[in-house]
Structure formats: C-alpha cells, structure tokens
Structure 1
Amino acid sequence: MVNYSLLTAYLLAIVLFLGTPGPVTILVISASVKSGFRAGLATIAGTNIASLILIALSFIIIQGVFAVSETAMLWLTFFGTLYLFYFSISIIRDKIDLQQTLQQNSKRVSKNHFKDGFLIGISNPKDILFFIAFFPIFLAVTSDTYVSMITLTLVWIVLDYSILSIYAFIFSKVSNNRAANIISKLSGIILLLITIYVFYETSKRLFF
C-alpha cells in the first residue's frame, strides 16, 4: 500500500532540493556553457552515480539503526529534521551570484565531464548527512522498508536527471541572478515548511 500523501511530499521536497542552485548544479551549468548541452548531460550522469553511492551508504546506516529499534529510527528522523532546518534556512539566507560562481567553477570543467560530475558529487561529505537526514522521513511511503528504499531511489534518479537537465539547458542560455535567487529562496521556504511538519509529527510520536 502506497502512502500517496507522503510520496507527494517526497516528490515536492526532491524538486525543491534539486532545484536549489548548489555545487552540482553550478558544475553542470559550467560544463553546458563551456562545452555544450551534451557535456552537461555527461556531467549529470557522473553526479547521479555519485548520489546513488551516497544513497546506498545512507540506506545501510539507516537499516542498521532501524534494526536496533523503531524508536531509534524516530530519533534519527528527529535529528535529521534539525539538520534540514539548518539546511533550509541557509538556502533562504544565501545570495547567489551565478556569473561569479560560474567563473570560479569554469576551471573545474575538463574534457572528461562524467568524471568531473562524479568527483564533485562524491567529494561532498555533507551530501551523505543530507541523505541520512532526509530518507528516514519518507521510508513509510510503503509498508515494506525495502520497497520504500527502491521507490525513493528510482524517484530520485528520474528527478535528478530531469531537473538538472532543465537547469543545464535554461541557465546555459540565460544566467539570470534574480531568477536563480527567487527559485532558491522559494525552495528554501517550502522545504522549511515541510521540515516543520515532519518535525511536529516525529516529536508527537516521540514525546506524546
């Protein structure tokens, strides 16, 4: 049985997370500007493989916690929401200068775009903290934990490719600071609202 309301919240949260300009997005845009849209797609493939490795590691950690007790899992979700609070607020507060960031990152673009994408994706230790904080919130999307993991991962793959491809295409044509900052701040606000809701539901199960 699929929890469609939770799945919808997951879809929205992923769209907001991936839609917020960050190191991966900037690298994809830089590759597209410098070497064309196909270079951007190759970079996306590399970042996606890196994400899948980090997701697999986070699932191993989550399964280890879940094997201990359901309460331990709730505590992991609780502390995960605290990290997402920080993450959301930092998105809202940050100001993006696409031109300056693209210029700074242009040297990171080589002829091997897949490798560039993989290295930038795998070298950020904060990503695995995000995945560990993020996925426990949505594991109840089905009644089977393993089915939930597969579902969440497949959705991530599809949205990761789709959203980053759209970003590569749009911002390789028009590097608009105002648009990027509006997207970023709106994403941060909505992600913060989702986090508040999950924090409330988790706290209710832990403390009441």
Structure 2
Amino acid sequence: MDFNTWIIFTVTIALVIAIPGPLTLLMVNSSINVGMRKSMPIILGGSTASSILISISAIGLGAVIAASETFFYLIKYLGAAYLIYLGFNLWMSSKPANEEGQEEAPKKHQNLLLKSFTLGITNPKDIVFFIAFLPQFISTQESYATQLAVIVVTWFAVDFLCKVLYGILSRMIVGRINSVRKTSVLDRVSAVIFVAAGVAATI
C-alpha cells in the first residue's frame, strides 16, 4: 500500500468509524458515568474486536462466513441477543443516589473489556463490510502480509482515537451537569437504544 492509498484509506475509515454505533454509545455512556480512565477498556475491547474481524476478512475467512447462511445468522442473532442483554442490564442497574449523594456501586460498568469485545466481535455486518471494503486498498503487486499489518494497525489506531474523542466530548458536554437523576435518565435512554438496535439487527 503506497502512501497516497494509505491516506485515502485512513480518511475513509475515519469517516466510517465516526458514525455512532453501539460501541460508541457504550463508550459515551460509560465516560459520562465513571470517567474516561475507567472507560478505556471499552476502547481496547472494541478496537481489538474490529482488528480481529478485519484480519479474518482479509485472509478469506470472512467470505466463508458470509457464504454460510447458517453461520452468518448464528453470529447475527448472537450479536442481537447480546445488544438486548446489555440494554436490559443497563436499565435494571440504573439506580438513584444514596443518602450521601453518590451513586451505588456501578456493577453495570464492570467487565467493560469483555462487554465491548463481545459486542464488537459478534457483529456480522462488519465482516460483510470488510469483505467489500478491503479489496479497494489491497494491491496484488505488494506483500499481502505487510498490507494486512498496515491495515489492521491503522484501523486500530483510528478506531481507538475516535472513541477517545467521543468519550472526551461526552464528558465536556455533560461535565456541568452533576445530577445522578439525569445520569439515570441517560442510562435508560441508552438501554432503550441498545434494545432497539438488537431488535433491528434481527429484521
């Protein structure tokens, strides 16, 4: 991959990644509730999942999965079920402040690395997207392994940076709102969106 192609690839994936999705919503919600530092596992888990899916797609396994209707729909419905689970869990764990005005121990923010990784790795639409997208930037005249490494590292870096920016912006926007009640409302709105996304994925 020459430098000009890499620039085009980087700009293109930045625009794609910038479109808010379930992982972005999870990142924004967590950043607002527990802060950027504690939300970093979400970024790592989601970006790692995307990098793995890119690698799978690039070496041809993505085409096999897409060609197998049973396997494709199995992953699709598992991903949808997990979205619904996250939404239900977020709704049920949304609690008011205690007498000192502090939130209860936020169990919903535990295992964020596993949550974000599972959410990312069970998205079959990403596999289909990568199958269609990657060939536009891969040259048969250059080392395939080198190009794959550049693609994976670039995607991981851009994805990581984008989610960090979403987290920072979300903190800036709500930084002046020190209200547990409003945070609880945000949790429930996010929960509804997660469930809706999960239901929509099965249609």
TM-score by length of 2: 0.60
Match of 1:112 in 2: 111
Structure 1, residues 106-134: CA drift from partner, whole Å, max 9, x if none? 81843111111111111211111111111
Match of 2:149 in 1: 150
CA distance in 1, matches of 2:110, 2:120: 17
Offset at 1:141?
9.3
CA distance in 1, matches of 2:90, 2:150: 37
Match of 1:136 in 2: 135
Change (3 A) 1:21 1:105: farther
Offset at 1:40?
2.3
Aligned partner of residue 139 in structure 2, secondary structure: helix
Offset at 1:153?
0.9
Change (3 A) 1:173 1:7: same
TM-score by length of 1: 0.58
After superposition, where does 1:30-41 map in structure 2 within 5 Å? Answer: 30-41=29-40
Offset at 1:22?
1.1
> Normalized per residue, which structure has more helix?
1
Offset at 1:63?
9.6
Offset at 1:174?
1.5
Q: CA RMSD in A?
A: 2.6
Match of 2:162 in 1: 163
Query: Computing the radius of gyration over CA atoms, which structure comes out larger, 1 or 2?
Result: 2
Offset at 1:140?
2.3
CA distance in 1, matches of 2:171, 2:140: 36
Percent identity, aligned pairs only?
29
Give 5+ residue unaligned stretches, structure 2. 65-86, 92-107, 175-203
Structure 1, residues 17-42: CA drift from partner, whole Å, max 9, x if none? 11111111111111111211113211
Q: How many residues align?
A: 136
